[in-house]
Structure 1
Amino acid sequence: MDDKDRQIIRALQRDGRMTNQDLAAAVNLSPSPCLRRVRNLERNAIIQGYSADVDASAYGLSIMVFVRIRLERHNEADVKNFESRVRMIDEVLECHVMTGAMDYQLRVLVPDLEAYEDFIRNRIHPIGGIASIDTSFVYGTVKRTAVFPQSR
């Protein structure tokens, strides 16, 4: 991957619906080489897909929660069980393995506090093997972007 590929990626992260013609102009390429580069990035799974950026509140999911989880045991079976179960929970948009006191951080979207309680009681607790759960509710967002920083 070279700097031109990175320019293409950043442009598509800003606007994934732009035409190849507009993309080529934005990155100073002619359309044919630009399209070849995009197809190559897709073929090599560097570009893994395209999606719509949707306002979660307007969709009906007005509460974002960061949930940090620590497991009781870190053996292979318990880790695999937790990770496979979390992958199946729709409310979990992201799950990251963490360093430090907690093992995982989840980004969760729910419509209201009752739905969050249901999420914890009926989706997380039944997984088992969880030592602790720490929750932080988001009440504002200062910055949110899907555009990667420029490499140096």
Structure 2
Amino acid sequence: MNFVERNAKRGFGQPVITGRGLTVFSVVSFAYYKDDMNFFLNEFDLSKEEMKSAILYCKNRQCKLIDSPSDRYCVGCILRSISEGWKSIQDDFIESDGISISKNNGTVYLGTKEELEDDEFGVMGWVLAEAVEKKWLL
């Protein structure tokens, strides 16, 4: 059963757990970083079936099926950044000892350029979803 919907009034067109504002990407990314599935499910008041549905939705990139002008990709996923025309910022920074500094205005980021890129540009949600599926044998 599919527990994922897109609704302009819930999640602003992002794929969410049906009847809730919890995005698919939130489920995937939090599940990726958590080590205890039961704690995770309780924390978000999710059933295992809802979580599986979100993981499979993301893994299979079903979000690419745009049905409505209000449909959006999840915040945090690289597909959202690409669809909005974002460009890589790696060339705008120099990195030294794990700290990134902007070439233009001296903005400092306490992390590598790769970490900065992930924070600003997003990550490949489907890769996280594949890892979660393997991690928890869904």
Scaled by the length of structure 1, what TM-score is found?
Answer: 0.31
Q: TM-score scaled to structure 2, two decimals?
A: 0.33
